[in-house]
């Protein structure tokens, strides 16, 4: 059957992207904005920084500073911006530290707050409205660490991303009967600020390079599009063959 040339069209859909000042988040904004989505961009960074990173985008409806780990702030934003059709959560942190250090538990709590509690807060705030309107797309960002323990990540990050993978399936089971598809992506190491100076050795990878933010954005954009309308509860790997399940 011939592909519909509009099967990646997001025109008329309102999309919230969190982590929008980061590499994957800003690349997702560029791609989905070009596909016609009405963009609402949020990040823990100040609004001025979100605007600066996304300065080339002419059609952003709103910018918001948001700490997704804070339930009250997420719910306040949901009340403020109203209904959305698509949620792409790319917010996350990946500190490199010594899990045997006396103060490591504080780092563990922070990673879980941002990387696990954040997606829960976002889906809890926006899924009910999507379910009521019988349409929605949600994409969460996992990691190769959630499957294989990571490449150079610490145990709190591996635990958190494994949790995200489980949440994708948990949310999907409760959303699909309302025509809301919940999926995730599991990147390998991506050439971004998060990995800069962390000792990765791309020459040892199967493709001899790290992934790019644009490559991950393309996958997120696909999962948000009509082309993925029969996909739910799936975490798609994008790791250049570094780990195969």
CA-nearest of 146, 154, 71, 157 to 111 is: 157
What pLDDT digit, counting tens, does each position of 14-34 carry?
A: 999 999 999 999 999 999 999
pLDDT for 230 beyond 90: yes
With cut-offs at 50, 70 and 90, classify the pLDDT of residue 2: very low
Distance CA(92)–CA(22), nearest Å, equals 9
Helix and strand numbers, DSSP H then E, in the chain: 8, 7
Question: Which CATH class name applies to 14-238?
Answer: alpha beta
Report DSSP state, residue 68: T
Query: Residue-wise over 140-167: b if at least 16 C-beta within 10 A, else e?
Result: bbbbbbbbbebbebbebbbbbbbbbbeb
Q: How many CB atoms lie within 10 A of CB 20?
A: 31
What pLDDT digit, counting tens, does each position of 71-102 carry?
A: 999 999 999 999 999 999 999 998 888 888 88
pLDDT for 39 beyond 60: yes
Confidence (pLDDT) at 110: 95
List residues with catalytic annotation.
157
| DSSP assignments along 158-191, one per residue | HHHHHHHHHHHHHHHHHHGGGTEEEEEEEE--BS
């Amino acid at each position: 059957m011939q592909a519909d040339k509009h099967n990646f069209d997001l025109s008329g859909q309102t999309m919230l992207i969190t982590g929008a000042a980061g590499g994957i988040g800003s690349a997702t904004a560029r791609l989905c904005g070009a596909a016609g989505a009405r963009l609402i961009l949020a990040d823990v960074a100040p609004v001025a920084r979100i605007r600066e990173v996304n300065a080339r985008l002419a059609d952003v409806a709103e910018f918001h500073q948001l700490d997704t780990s804070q339930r009250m702030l997420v719910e306040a934003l949901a009340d403020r911006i109203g209904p959305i059709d698509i949620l792409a959560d790319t917010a996350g942190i990946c500190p490199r530290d010594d899990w045997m250090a006396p103060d490591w538990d504080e780092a563990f709590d922070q990673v879980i707050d941002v990387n696990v509690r954040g997606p829960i807060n976002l889906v809890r705030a926006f899924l009910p409205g999507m379910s009521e309107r019988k349409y929605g797309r949600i994409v969460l960002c996992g990691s190769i660490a959630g499957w294989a323990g990571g490449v150079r990540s610490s145990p709190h990050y591996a635990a958190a991303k494994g949790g995200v993978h489980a949440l994708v399936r948990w949310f999907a089971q409760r959303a699909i009967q309302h025509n809301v598809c919940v999926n995730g992506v599991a990147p390998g190491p991506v050439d971004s600020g998060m990995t800069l100076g962390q000792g990765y050795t791309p020459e040892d990878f199967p493709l001899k390079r790290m992934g790019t933010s644009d490559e991950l954005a393309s996958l997120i954009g696909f999962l948000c599009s009509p082309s993925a309308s029969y996909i739910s509860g799936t975490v798609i790997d994008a790791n250049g063959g570094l780990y195969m399940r």
